[in-house]
């Protein structure tokens, strides 16, 4: 087994640097799907989440509970729900989106929204209340206060985005169900690793795992650098 791991790592390096079209195709699909879904989710969840954090309103507790519940929504259940909705026998079957990257983006988008919303809300709420008072006493209106608070909690918001992206790219259940693991089209890192393991191609599976971890490390390192520079 130890041999297999070393061989797998070497195989991984070989596949990356020889620009193996299959491996790079898998990388491309994974990133296209996970980045699109997380960015879209951020576009919608950030304003709403921070707004909830800013305002006090009736039923806020219930909304918070709901967001927190959905933050831990099991991805495989999301996959099942989207499958049933997009299936040809389901309500949105006519769109023909099942087994496409669109379906995968929809599933990952819905998984990412509560995570980004929840962290944005918590980030805004955790800002020191004296800052809020100071900004207001300087004559800021609500929109200006909101912007100030977002700027102040940038770090936590980026962290929330990272968590959502990390979950999206390492998620396997939902993309397997709605994407179908189709070669050249909807095969991602994770579904590819499942397939290679099933086929007994452990070398290839380890190779993909190593690539996934390396890429995750690089992305995180870059973003951490960005985060520290922000201050």
Partner 1 sequence: MSTRKPLKQLISEHKTAVILALIIVVGGSIGTYFAIDYLNAQNPEKITLATTTSTYDSGLLDYLLPKFTEQTGIQIKVLSVGTGTAIQYGKDGNADVILVHSRSREDDFVNVSLGENGLPYGIHRACIMFNDFIIVGHETNPANLQSGDSITTVITKLRNAIDTGNMTFYSRGDDSGTHSKEKALWAGIGVVPATRWANQPDKYTETGQGMAATLLMTYEDVDAAHEGYTIVDRGTWLSFYEDYISLNILAESIVGEDLLLNPYGAIPVNPVLHPHVKFLSACRFVGFLTSPYGQTLINAYRKNNQILFHASFGTCNHNCSCSTTTDEITIWTPFQAEFADLIV
Q: Which is nearer to partner 1, 101 or 153 (CB)?
A: 101
For residue 140, give every residue at least 6 positions away whose Cβ sits within 8 Å of its Cβ, in sequence order, or none: 148
CB of 160 to partner 1, least distance (A): 20
CB of 4 to partner 1, least distance (A): 10
Q: Half-sphere exposure (CA, 13 Å, Cβ side) for 160? A: 28
Give the separation between CA 181 and CA 39, rounded to whole angstroms: 23
Q: Which is nearer to partner 1, 66 or 182 (CB)?
A: 182
Give the separation between CA 38 and CA 187, rounded to whole angstroms: 18
- Cβ atoms of residues 209 and 14 within 8 Å: no
Q: Which is nearer to partner 1, 9 or 195 (CB)?
A: 195
CB of 102 to partner 1, least distance (A): 4
Q: Which residues bind partner 1 (CB under 8 A)?
A: 36, 40, 43, 87-89, 93-103, 105, 180-183, 185, 195, 197-200
CB of 49 to partner 1, least distance (A): 18
CB of 83 to partner 1, least distance (A): 9
Q: Which is nearer to partner 1, 74 or 96 (CB)?
A: 96
Q: Which is nearer to partner 1, 104 or 207 (CB)?
A: 104
Q: Which is nearer to partner 1, 14 or 88 (CB)?
A: 88
Q: Which is nearer to partner 1, 56 or 94 (CB)?
A: 94
CB of 195 to partner 1, least distance (A): 7
CB of 87 to partner 1, least distance (A): 5
């Amino acid at each position: 087994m130890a041999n297999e791991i070393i061989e797998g790592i070497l195989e991984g390096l070989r596949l990356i640097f020889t620009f193996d079209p299959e491996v790079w195709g898998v990388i491309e699909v994974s990133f296209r799907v996970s980045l699109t879904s997380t960015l879209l989710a951020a576009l919608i969840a950030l304003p709403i989440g921070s707004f909830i954090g800013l305002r006090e309103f009736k039923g806020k507790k219930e909304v918070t509970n709901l967001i927190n519940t959905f933050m831990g929504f099991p991805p495989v259940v999301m996959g099942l729900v989207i499958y049933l909705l997009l299936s040809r026998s389901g309500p949105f079957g006519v769109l023909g989106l099942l087994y496409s990257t669109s379906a995968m983006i929809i599933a990952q988008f819905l998984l990412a929204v509560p995570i980004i919303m929840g962290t944005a809300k918590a980030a805004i709420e955790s800002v020191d209340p004296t800052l809020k008072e100071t900004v207001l006493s300087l004559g800021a209106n609500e929109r200006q206060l909101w912007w100030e608070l977002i700027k102040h909690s940038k770090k936590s918001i980026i962290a929330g985005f990272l968590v959502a992206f990390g979950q999206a790219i390492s998620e396997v259940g939902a993309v397997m169900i709605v994407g179908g693991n189709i070669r050249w089209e909807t095969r991602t890192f994770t579904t590819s690793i499942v397939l290679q393991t099933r086929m007994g191609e452990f070398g290839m599976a380890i190779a993909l795992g190593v690539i996934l971890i390396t890429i995750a490390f690089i992305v995180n390192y870059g973003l951490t650098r960005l985060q520290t520079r922000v201050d």
